[in-house]
Structure 1
């Protein structure tokens, strides 16, 4: 059993959001990563795809998610299951906070640049 204190959580800032890792293989987990996403108002994330499924539960605010050519609108209490390999992009006008779970490790591909990365909040 592992306890990850908030003071020990890993915080990663990107141009579009702040991810706080609650658990991951390098922070007490074995095969599952859980993190909190805080996206400030008027932000848009990169167009990308993940090689694993992700489950997003929105706690506050709202987001629009472009998922494989469809636009979905989500708010507090909504949960979105994003399938592996599906092209996606998140944006928000007023900001949001969500908790996300995913098998770990996983890799992302930026669909505009082709860059592949292992997001640090998932490892």
Structure 2
């Protein structure tokens, strides 16, 4: 059993959001990562795909997820299961906070640049 104290949570800031790792293989977990996403209003994330499934539960605010050509509006209390390898982009006019879980390790593929990275909040 592992306990990850709030003071030990890993915080990663990108141009679009702040991810706070609650658990990951390098932070007390074994094969599952969980993190909190806080996206400010008027932000749009990159067009990308993940090589693993992700489960997002929105705690506050709202977002629109472009998923494989479809737009899905989500708000507080909604949960979205994003399949592996599906092209996606999140945007928010008002901002949101969500909790996300995903198998680890996991790799992101930026569909505009072709870059592949292991997001630091998942490892």
Aligned mates of 2:73, 2:104 — CA distance in 1:
26
How many Å apart are 1:20 and its aligned residue?
0.1
> What secondary structure, in the 3-state scheme, does the structure 2 residue paired with 1:15 have?
coil
Backbone CA RMSD of aligned residues: 0.2
Pairing 1:40–2:3 present: no
Q: TM-score, length-normalised on structure 1?
A: 1.00
1:55 aligned counterpart, secondary structure: strand
How big is each residue's C-alpha offset from its partner over 1:37-93, in whole Å with a ceiling of 9 and x where there is no partner?
Answer: 000000000000000000000000000000000000000000000000000000000
Unaligned 5+ segments in structure 2 are: none
Partner Cα separation in structure 2 for residue 110 and residue 16 of structure 1: 14
Give secondary structure in 2 for the equivalent of 1:99: strand
Structure 1 segments unaligned to the other structure (5+ residues): none
| Cα distance in structure 1, aligned partners of 2:5 and 2:88 | 31
* Residue number in structure 2 paired with 1:119: 119
* Runs ≥4 residues deviating over 2 A: none
- Across the two proteins, how many residue pairs are aligned to each other? 123
Aligned to 2:89, the other structure's residue is in SS state strand
Shift of 1:25: 0.1
Partner of 1:5: 5
